[in-house]
Amino acid sequence: MDITNYVVLAAALFAIGATTVLLRRNAIVVFMGVELMLNATNLAFVTFARMHGDVTGQVLAFFVMVVAAAEVVVGLAIIVTIFRTRRSASVDDVNLLRG
């Protein structure tokens, strides 16, 4: 098997994650899509680290995880706050930016 298969897998997961972000209305599921994209990236990092024999890729993946964790915490807190005020977790209901 070629190691690039991992990269292909990562690409597929990334595309699916992006599509999730675009298509789902539930803010939490959208968020999951974001997490999926991050994970796909991590997979690519790890794969490239292995490919190049350089552990830096893994370090970056590690940082991504940490930042993602922080992001999830804040993001979910925002979702909860919005839900509290608007009784809805639909991203479409939050359109105060409408021009």
Partner 1 sequence: MNDVIGLAPWLVGFPLIGAAILLLGGKATDRWGHWLGVLASAASGVVGFILMFRMIGMPAEERSVDHHLWTWLSAGDLDVDLGIRLDPLSLTFVMLVTFVGTLIHVYSVAYMDHDPHRRRFFAYLNLFVAAMLTLVLADSYLLLFVGWEGVGLASYLLIGFWDTGRPAARENAVAAKKAFVMNRVGDMGLIAAMALLFANTGALDFATTLSDDGVGSLSQATATAVGLCLLLAACGKSAQFPLQAWLGDAMAGPTPVSALIHAATMVTAGVYLMVRSGPILEAAPTAQLVVVLVGAVTLLFGAVVGTAKDDIKKALAASTMSQIGYMMLAAGLGPAGYAFAIFHLLTHGFFKAGLFLGAGSVMHAMGDETDMRRYGGLSRFLPITWITMGLGWLAILGIPPFSGFWSKDGIIEAAFIPVDGQPWRAWVFGSVTVLGAAITAFYMTRLFFMTFGGRRPRWKDNRHPHEGSPLMWWPLVFLGVGSAALGAVLGIGGTFTTWLEPVVGHAEHHEPVLPVPVIMTVTILVVVLGALLAFRMYAVNVVPEEAPRGSVLTRAARRDLYQDAANETLVMRPALGLARVVEAGDREVVDRGWAALPQTVSWFGSVFRRAQSGYVRSYAAGMAGGVLVIAVVAWLVGGLGGAQ
Partner 2 sequence: MTPAGLEISGGETALFWVIAPLMVLAALGLLFVKRAVHAAMCLVFVMVSMAILYIAQEAPFLGVVQVVVYTGAVMMLFLFVLMLVGVDASDSLTETIRGQRWIGVLIGIGLAAVLAGVVARAAFPPAVGLSGGDPGGIANPTALARVLFGDYGVAMEAVGVLLVTAAVGALVLTHRRRLTPKRTQRSVADSRIKALPDGVVLTPLPSPGVYARSNAMDTPALGPDGEQVPQSVSRVLRIRGQERPAPDIPAAELVETRVSAEEEA
Binding-site ranges for partner 1 (CB under 8 A): 18, 21-23, 25, 30, 91-92, 94-99
Residues 26-85 that bind partner 2 (CB under 8 A): 26-29, 31-33, 35-36, 39, 42-43, 46-47, 49-56, 58-59, 61-63, 65-74, 76-81, 83-84
- Contacts of residue 21, Cβ cutoff 8 Å, sequence gap at least 6: 30, 33, 34, 37
3-state secondary structure of 5: helix
Residue among 41, 88, 97, 99 that touches partner 2 (CB under 8 A)? 88
**Whose Cβ is closer to partner 1: residue 84's or residue 98's?**
98
Q: Does 86 bind partner 2 (CB under 8 A)?
A: no
CA–CA distances in Å: residue 6 to residues 2, 11, 19, 22: 8, 9, 20, 24
Residue 11's identity, in one-letter code, is: A
- Selection from partner 1, partner 2, none that 85 binds (CB < 5 to 8 A by kind) is none
Helices (H), the chain: 4-23, 27-52, 56-86
